[in-house]
Structure formats: C-alpha cells, structure tokens
Structure 1
Amino acid sequence: MTEIKRAQAAVRLGRNIRAARVKAGYSREKLSELSGLSTNYIGIIERGMKNITIINCQSLASALNTSIDKLLEGVFPATNESRNNKCPSGCILFNMAGECESKEH
C-alpha cells in the first residue's frame, strides 16, 4: 500500500470515528473516559494524522457501542471490492494486489 493510500485510509477511518462519536453525542473527553484513550490521541486519530492499532480501534468501537466493521466502512473500498470479485470461494488469503493466494483451489 502506498503512503498516499495509507494516509487516505487514516483520514477515512478518522472521519468514521468522529461521525460515530458525534452520533453518540459524546465529546472527545467523554469518549476518552469511556475508551481509556487520551483526548489528544482521539483528536489525532479523528484528523487522520496517525494510524491506529486494532486494539485501540476496538476500544473506541466498544465505547461507541459499535463494531470495528462499522468504523472501517468505506476505508478500503477498492481493496474489499477486488477481493470479493477475484475469489468466488470467499477466501481470506490475499496478496498486496488483492489476488487470492489460497492453495486449496
């Protein structure tokens, strides 16, 4: 994944997190309290300035009463579409080009 695509993904994820926070009626301070993450860190994530770990993403999803899947909606649209189109067997083993790498079929 190129640096530009990584940056775009971080911005999309940040927007999704912010939208979920606003929808829940939480301030950054409240989300910080519920998730155990600092308000500064949440702000950095919402602005797409830093990649988030899966553990921290789960903390935010739990605090927002949602799932990681919901937070990731639209973050990697081209990758998800190409994966779904390239392997009718529903495999989950893909290389960086989105091609199935399963040896089973």
Structure 2
Amino acid sequence: MDVRQTIGWNLRRLRVARGLSQERLALAAEIDRSYVGRIERGVENVTVSTLEALAGVLEVHVSALFQQVDAAAAKPAPLRSGRKPKAG
C-alpha cells in the first residue's frame, strides 16, 4: 500500500468512526466533497495544508493519517446512506 492509499484508508476510518459523511467533512474542512472522495480512494496527492484541515475537523494529529494499515484489515464500513433522523 502506498502513502496515498494509507492516507485515504485512515481518513475514511477516522471519518466513519466519527459518523461524518464526506460532504460534512469537506464542508467543515472547507474543501470540495469530490476531493475528499479522491483522497479516500488514494488517487490524490494531498497537500500538507489539506491534511492539517482534515485532521483538525477529525480532532486527531496529522500523524494519525499516516498510521500503518494492517494488510489483513477489513476496509472501513461505509456510513448508512440517507439523512439522520431528526432529534425530537
């Protein structure tokens, strides 16, 4: 797994663990949602500034995005699609 794929894997893992959609993460980090998707797929050369913005939204140190991925680990599960129910 190359570095771009490692960053993408960890970004998705952290995003899903916090229950954030790509759209919510992108909005909070002030980047385009499709860019988040490309980062998660490991096809984008992401800048340090963007990594800082994403890590800030996820409330982790930037180094968490570079954490080594176990080759046997299952791909992070996607979030359930659709809107969250309104709290009431």
Task: Tell me which interval the TM-score lies in, with the shorter structure as reference length.
Answer: 0.7 to 0.9
Larger Rg: 1
Corresponding residue to 2:51 among 57, 68, 72 = 57
Does residue 1:72 correspond to 2:69, yes or no? no
Q: Which runs of 5+ in 1 are unaligned?
A: 1-6, 76-105
Matched residue pairs, number?
Answer: 69
Structure 2 contact 3–66 (Cα < 8 Å) conserved: no
Structure number with higher relative contact order (C-alpha < 8 Å, ≥ 6 residues apart) = 2
Moved segments of 4+, more than 2 Å = none
Read off the aligned partner of 1:69 and give its amino acid letter.
S
Q: Following TM superposition, by how much is the alpha carbon of 1:72 offset from its aligned partner in structure 2, in angstroms?
A: 1.1
Q: How far apart are residue 70 of structure 1 and its match?
A: 1.0
When the two structures are superposed, what TM-score results if normalisation uses the length of structure 2?
Answer: 0.74
Percent of aligned positions with the same letter in both sequences?
32
Unaligned 5+ residue runs, structure 2? 70-88
TM-score normalised over the length of structure 1:
0.62
Q: Could you report, residue by residue, the CA deviation over 1:41-99 in whole angstroms, capped at 9, with x for unpaired residues?
A: 00000000011110000000001111101111117xxxxxxxxxxxxxxxxxxxxxxxx
The structure with the largest helix share of the pair is 1
1:8 maps onto 2:2 in alignment: yes
Indicate the RMSD between aligned Cα atoms, in angstroms.
1.3
